[in-house]
A = this chain, B = another copy of it.
Amino acid sequence: MTPGEATFVEEMGHFLGTSGMTPMSGRMWAWLLICDPPEQTASDLATELHASRGAISGTARLLESAGMIRRGRRRGDRSEYFSAPAGALEALLTDAGSMYGRFRAITEVGLAVLADRPPAVSARLREVHAAFTFFEREYPALIARYLRERAAAEPVVLTAAPAPQDMPA
């Protein structure tokens, strides 16, 4: 990893680390976005990111459950290979949008508590609730629109990357 690459990796780590995920998540995702070759073993990652194997294992599980990385084996090779697939982007965006649903759920807890209070008291919370309900509905539509426009702009290129040797789901 060059110093410049390390800067990028570290910045992404810092950013995701202060946004609900762990720093290691950001570092690992960032590296998988720029590494060459695009598939990396756990040992590769541990070396490049100066991290323990335990950290790689835990972080990989986290990122995989978020849909941001893909893991698979090649035949004749005990190692597992990690990569950031094209779908990672959609996963990240969807994940970011899940915030709205959680916000809406929390405000509903509050609305239930205020059920028998005068409307003037619950007005503030009702406004917030309405907003999150709106965004929970409209945000996925925005993602869909992006994917549509993107597909229209580059019709075929998405699958044009050289296929990895042998990497089943």
Residues of chain A having any CB pair with chain B under 8 Å: 2, 4-5, 7-8, 11-12, 15, 18-20, 30, 32-34, 36, 38, 84, 86, 89, 92-93, 96, 99, 102-103, 106, 109-110, 112-114, 117, 120-125, 127-128, 130-131, 134-135, 138-139, 142, 145-146, 149-150, 161-162
Contacts and interface: CB of A to CB of B under 8 A. Distances in A.
Nearest to A120: B161
B131 A146 contact: yes
Main secondary structure of the interface of A (DSSP, over half): helix
Nearest to A108: B8
A125 to B, nearest CB: 5
A34 B161 contact: no
A13 to B, nearest CB: 10
